[in-house]
Every structure is written in structure tokens, then in C-alpha cells.
Structure 1
Amino acid sequence: MKNKNDNFIFLVINPLAGGTDKKNEKYIIKEYIENKGYNFVYYETTGNKEEPSDETEIKKLYTKYKPKKVVIGGGDGTIKFVFETLFKEDIIFGILPMGSANGLAKDLDLPNDLETCLEIALQDNFKEVDSISINKMKSFHLSDLGLNAELIKNYHDSKIHGKLGYFLQMFPTILENKDPFNATISTPDTQIETQAKVILIANSSKYGTGVVVNPLGKVDDDVFEIVIFRSLELSLILKILFGNLPLEDDAIEIIRTKKALIQTDYPISFQIDGEFCGEVKQLDIEMEKQKIKIATPKLNSTPRK
């Protein structure tokens, strides 16, 4: 017997995801769900951290309606925020990739077509995705120390957002070319001291651009990877951008683990799932016991591109 809330959808949409107004997408989403006969409550994020904050309002609506499915429209940052806000609840999350970076959606093989993603979000097939605790903050996709976090900081500080904003910040960030930092990485099995340009804490394989930076990454394998890029010469950057991550290169090392401590010799820029988190000298990292249920395509179906 179905619960009355099994047919109830909670929509959380970032109306400015990707740096563009989502008026047309909002219309498509609402019309699609209404035509399928679902009841729903709709919430647009504001970015407000003061009360009443987005976190407070989302929790309030969830408590009132107790939906079994929460459908999120936005990029990796919006998705992470809603996951973290409702982390302890028994929910199947649906993802509508609408941001500047949609790396988690790419790792879950979600298509670019909005209606197909809605179809996937509303069906019952799901994958249980790992979550990682980093300094008591949650990561579900890719986090890192170093150059990429600098890029994200510069992107958030700029006036131009969306994919163009990332592109415009990429070259000045690379050209700044700060010296590598020193890091000590400790796991239950090993300890290494190294220099690095980027240290990646990866639950998956791809950045939002689709570039593979962790070929060992799987979102549901109960471990995470620490990917060390000791240098980022132009030749190596081009190989990565063109999908040829050279694992035999001494400039790259991958460590698989469930727990780690990373310490640096001075504060380094740090980001979690596309959100800049300031500068840190230490990261305490471990796998969470709880996973996140995310609606994914059925294995015997081929989503429209």
C-alpha cells in the first residue's frame, strides 16, 4: 500500500544556476510534473544565509510535507547544499543539471535533456552514492586543494558567471602559476610527503566540464581517491583536457582509502563540490556511513542526448 506522500514531489530550484535566468526551465519542470499527475511544493533558493535562510525554509517544507522524492534543479553547489540540508532523511533525490558545473550528473550518466532528466528523477531506479566528511563538511563529488580551488575562488569573485565565467578565469589563474605547496598525507596504510599543485579528494571521476581527473573513481564503491598533481605543466594540462590522463607520469599519484589526514605548510585554497571554502592547512577526511539515494537511468534504457 502506497503512502499518500509517495505521489508528492518537493522541487528545489536555483533560479540563477549557471549564471542565467531559469524562467523557461521552471515552466517546463512545473508543466511536466503537473501533467504526470504529481502534487508538488516548489521552492526557489535565494542564497540567503541569514534567517529565514534557504536551509531553514527547505527543512520547514520537508517537515510539513514529508515527500519521498526531492528534485533539485541547479549545479553541483546547489545539489551539495540540498543533499547536506536533508542528509539524515530517507529520500530519493532527483537531479536536473542546470548549473555551470554538473560533474556529479555526468558521473551518474544523466543526459543534458531536461525532460529526460525529469523522467529519470520521477521513476524508482536509484543508486546509493557515497558521501565524504571533510573537516565536518560533506562532499559528494570532487573537492580539492590548490590551483582548481583558486579558479573557483576567482570565478565567484568575478561578475561573469556560467561556463563563460569559468573559461575567462581559467587562463589568468593558470598564468599566476604559484609554486607548489608542501603536503603530508597520512592514511591508515601509508604516509607520504610531497609537493603538489593540486590535491584532489574524489568520490567520482569527472569535473563538471566532463574532463576525467580520476579514472579510478566510482560514486558507490565505499572509498575515495586522493589524486596528487605534483606539477601542472601545459603539456600535462592538455593531456588531461583531451581525456588522456597519463597515470604513468611521475607528476600524478592516486591513493585509495576510507580515511586520511592532509596537512600543508601554509594555508591553501580549498573547495568542496564547486563551492570555495577559504584557505586551510589541514583536512580531516573520512567516509560517511550513510549514503545518498539518487535517481539514475535504468541500465536497460538509453536516455535521449
Structure 2
Amino acid sequence: MTKAIHIHFIINPVAGSGNNDLRLEDVYDIFDPEHYEVSIKYSEYPTHSTILTKDSLKEQASIIVACGGDGTINEIARCIVNTPVILGIIPMGSGNGLASHLNIPKNKKQALMVIKKQAIKKIDVGRFNDNYFFSNAGFGIAAKVIKHYQASKKRRFYSYLKASIKSLLESKDDHLIQISTNNEKLSINPLLLFISNSNEMGYKVSLTPKASLQDGLLDIVMVPKTNKLRTLLFGFLMLFKKHHILKEVKSFQIKNAELSQSHEKLFHSQIDGEYFPINKKSISISVMEKSLQVIT
């Protein structure tokens, strides 16, 4: 008798618009109970998905499905980098940047069918000191937008747009960041410093439309502090993927980089759509080639 495949679904019930669920009978409509052993778990607080994933690994799950947004994916996928365990995704978040890049449908039944077919792709993973990012990470306005967005009560594109405008209009100065990469050293007081593994941030918005999950490279977009008019122009052009026409915008690719600050110890950052302050004076960034197996 063939051994049953253990497939675990970890659901963030408050991701996106909230009230997310997945009925066992709907899963077994697609996954034959004779061949699959299914477990459905619900996270109850931030980082709980990571704990649930570690439990699933002890329970010998071979496929773990992240049911949520990019933040939920991060909490789960960070536990299975460089392991034989396969990641599935059912998009239930607000932006769903990584799922969109991978062309995973938002419809639950269709997403389940994708998982059933098990077309596996090995993708790159970004490393951020001892943390991972699978879609993107950023500083400057990238962190501010997420901080304001998380403070809003509704996870909608309007809320994201409102958070973006509020962040663009803030006049507080960020601190000078030094970047060592590609055999050169750069300094920037960033309006935006964005490091991307995927080609979408979410809501079909992209700063790095040509980024690939399988090229062994990370895409960087740098925009220095500028006046409010140019700042708003950048925000407008970004919505239409035309931000690159501004002379202030610098884009390039890296395999690794070192970021440092001379006077500040705290980096205000976002990782995969979650605000993430880092209490260190330097950050090492690198790419881990094809180190995560994802069903697409």
C-alpha cells in the first residue's frame, strides 16, 4: 500500500479582508483521503504560523500550504528553506505579491487544483542577516508605507494608497546608508531603498517588473530624498511602472551587499510586507539560489 502524503494547511484567518477558512471536506473533494493525510491549522497571533510549521515538520508533513499573504508565506517558508519539504500557496492576503508572480489563482478551489498537480519550481531566497525574504525587503518609504498600512483597520488597495501618500508627504529625514556591492561603495539618504526577489510588491504594483525568482540575483531600486513635487511624481509613476524614467532612480542587480549606518543603530525596514525594525548598525544581504521548492 502506498504511503499517504502528509499535506498541512496553515491558515492566517485575519490575512487580507479576514475571516479566512478552509473546510476539510472541500480539501478532501480534491485530495483523495486514501492517498493524502490532511491537517488544517489556524494561526492565532503574529509568528504563530512559524510555530505551527515547526510542529508540522515534526509531524513529517511533506507539503505545507501557506494560506494567507506574503507575511504568512514568510513565516512558513523560512522554516523549510533548503529542506525537501514543499511549499504550497493559497493566496488569502491583501497584496499577494509572491503568489501573483507565480501565477497562483486567488480562487481557493483553483489554488487547490494547482497544489494537487504538484508542478514544483525551485526559487531563489533573499537573506537579510539571519532572516529570509521571498518577495522583497525595503527601507525608507518602503518601511513607512507598511508601518502606516498595518496601522489602518482595513486591508484594501485604498488603504495602501492612503498609506503611500502619507509616507510620501512626511518630511522627516532618514539617515545616510552606505551600500557596498558589486565592487563599489554608494551612499544614499533614501526616499526608497528596495531589494526585490520577485517582480511584484502586491496589488499588481511593481518596482522591479523584470525581476526573476530563478536568476540567482536580487534587484535593487534606489531613490534619494528629493523635494515633495518630485517625490509625488515618483509615487504616481510607480503606479504605472514608469518610475525608471526619473533620473534620480537607480536600478541594478546584486548577489550580495552590505548596508551600514554611521550614526544610527536602528534600521527601519519591511520584509515581505511586514514592518521589521532591525537593531543593528549593519545588514548583510545575499541571495540563496534555488533554495525553496514551491508548487506553481
TM-score (norm 2): 0.87
- Tell me, yes or no, if the aligned pair for 1:200 and 1:228 is still in contact at 8 Å: yes
Shift of 1:290: 5.8
Could you tell me how far apart the structure 2 residues matched to 1:245 and 1:110 are?
A: 27
Q: Which residue of 2 aligns with 1:72?
A: 66
Deviations 1:138-180 (A, max 9, x none): 1111100111211111222344444454344233222214335
2:209 is equivalent to residue 215 of structure 1: yes
Aligned amino acid, residue 87 of structure 2: F
Name the SS for the 1:87 alignment partner.
Answer: coil
Alpha carbons of 1:48 and 1:241: their partners in 2 closer, same or farther (altered >3 Å)? Answer: closer
Q: Which residue of 1 aligns with 2:37?
A: 39
Out of 254, 257, 262, the position equivalent to 2:259 is: 262
2:200 is equivalent to residue 201 of structure 1: no
Could you tell me how far apart the structure 1 residues matched to 2:75 and 2:171 are?
A: 31
- Tell me, yes or no, if the aligned pair for 1:59 and 1:86 is still in contact at 8 Å: no
Q: Which residue of 2 aligns with 1:166?
A: 160
- Tell me, yes or no, if the aligned pair for 2:43 and 2:52 is still in contact at 8 Å: no
2:105 is equivalent to residue 141 of structure 1: no
Name the SS for the 1:17 alignment partner.
Answer: coil
Name the SS for the 2:243 alignment partner.
Answer: coil
Deviations 1:109-142 (A, max 9, x none): 2223222111112212121111121121011111
- Tell me, yes or no, if the aligned pair for 1:131 and 1:287 is still in contact at 8 Å: yes
Deviations 1:174-232 (A, max 9, x none): 22143354222101422222332110111112111211201331011111122102246
2:50 is equivalent to residue 55 of structure 1: yes
Q: Which residue of 1 aligns with 2:13?
A: 15
Aligned amino acid, residue 256 of structure 2: K
Shift of 1:55: 3.1
Aligned residues: 285
Could you tell me how far apart the structure 1 residues matched to 2:195 and 2:88 are?
A: 24
Alpha carbons of 1:188 and 1:3: their partners in 2 closer, same or farther (altered >3 Å)? Answer: farther
Could you tell me how far apart the structure 1 residues matched to 2:195 and 2:162 are?
A: 25
Could you tell me how far apart the structure 1 residues matched to 2:38 and 2:3 are?
A: 12
Shift of 1:54: 4.3
Alpha carbons of 1:180 and 1:31: their partners in 2 closer, same or farther (altered >3 Å)? Answer: same
Shift of 1:5: 3.6
- Tell me, yes or no, if the aligned pair for 2:256 and 2:287 is still in contact at 8 Å: yes
Q: Which residue of 2 aligns with 1:83?
A: 77
Q: Which residue of 2 aligns with 1:293?
A: 293
- Tell me, yes or no, if the aligned pair for 2:142 and 2:193 is still in contact at 8 Å: no
Could you tell me how far apart the structure 2 residues matched to 1:110 and 1:160 are?
A: 24
Could you tell me how far apart the structure 2 residues matched to 1:4 and 1:48 are?
A: 34
